[in-house]
Amino acid sequence: DSGVTQTPKHLITATGQRVTLRCSPRSGDLSVYWYQQSLDQGLQFLIQYYNGEERAKGNILERFSAQQFPDLHSELNLSSLELGDSALYFCASSVAQGSYGYTFGSGTRLTVV
């Protein structure tokens, strides 16, 4: 157990729907990072939050959004889902805003049908 908790582990939904993925960082970690892992794109950085504020953004689609709450858990919202959004979504956390490496959760597998 890495200490980073992601729920749900699996999610199956239809195209056009909206889902919310949840992440609880490791105790003491203030930064949360979201990554998308698909077969043809590898691990792609989506977005980083530090202590409730957005700090860095990657190739995140406009249909996707995230936030980090006062208790430091984070949610990734995916809307108007397309088949191509099917992927593993990982959350990672670190102590600081700028950290060398992260601790990853076990991921949420999203399947869009």
Taking CB under 8 A as the rule, which mask of x and - marks residues 60-89 in contact with another protein? ------------------------------
Of 32, 72, 78, 92, the one binding another protein by CB under 8 A? 92
* Residue 58 to residues 10, 28, 65, 113, Cα–Cα distance (Å): 24, 24, 12, 26
The SS3 of residue 83 is helix
Q: Which window, 11-19, 61-69, 70-78, 102-110, contacts another protein (CB under 8 A)?
A: 102-110
Q: Is 89 helix (H, G, I), strand (E, B) or coil?
A: strand
Among 26, 29, 48, 66, binds another protein (CB under 8 A): 48
Q: Two tokens at 17?
A: 């729907």
Using the rule CB under 8 A, give the single segment among 17-25, 60-68, 78-86, 99-107 that binds another protein.
Answer: 99-107
End-to-end alpha carbon distance in the chain: 30
One of 23, 81, 102, 110 touching another protein (CB under 8 A): 102
CB of 57 to another protein, least distance (A): 9
For residues 12-48, b (16+ Cβ closer than 10 Å) or e, as one string?
ebeeeeebebebbbbeebbbbbbbbeeeeeeeeebbb
Binding site for another protein (CB under 8 A): 2, 4, 33, 35, 42-45, 48, 55-56, 58, 90, 92, 97-107
